[in-house]
Amino acid sequence: MLTTKMLIIASNNKHKISELKSILSGSGFKVITMAEAGFFHNIEETGNTFEENAVLKARSIALQKHTFVFADDSGLEVEALDYRPGVYSARYAGEGASDMDKINKLLHELKGKTNRRARFVSVIAISRPDGSVDTFRGEVHGKIIDAPRGINGFGYDPVFVPEGYDKTFAELEEAIKNSISHRAKSTAKMLKVISSY
């Protein structure tokens, strides 16, 4: 069993940190950021898959901090674009591009395409102090709409409508999104395993 019930999240993305802390509230684990753990280095995402990037981030901190660390690598895969942007979701419109820049590029590339099927993917890697790692994958399927709607969330949330809903992630209440999202699914799988650490 984890004695401290503390998890370091290997991310500097304030939106992702906020969402994961919200999803994990009530789980019995305290989530702290890299900065709160005294880790101030950027971790370059050089993997070709969500799994590779999540493991890279989690393991690099766990080996230095000798504690349990989890990392999420996630993104949007659009069927009509050969599952792009995928692992490049955050950098799809170039380094430093805004969420709206990324959305505009995506909508431009989908112009004239009738297949709007897409999925959000989240892979969480949890690394133990010895560097061994488990990964957990979550997906939510849906479609991309023609124009952004809603003010909540971040990234591609304003143009993604999950299956079974008529609202975008950015229109859904936070509690609903956090119960059905790709990140909620991967986190739930992780919690089942780490509760026995």
Beta bridge partners of 31: 7
| Contact criterion met (CB below 8 Å) for 103 and 169 | no
What is the rounded distance in angstroms from the CA atom of residue 33 to the CA atom of residue 24? 13
| Catalytic entry in 72, 73, 99, 157 | 73
What is the rounded distance in angstroms from the CA atom of residue 81 to the CA atom of residue 75? 14
Task: For residue 50, give both structure tokens.
Answer: 């969500």
Residue 73 annotated among the catalytic residues of the structure: yes
The strand ranges marked E within the chain are 6-9, 30-33, 69-78, 84-85, 117-127, 133-144, 160-162
Main-chain phi, psi angles of 125, to 5 degrees: -110, 135
What is the rounded distance in angstroms from the CA atom of residue 177 to the CA atom of residue 183? 10
Show which residues are catalytic: 73
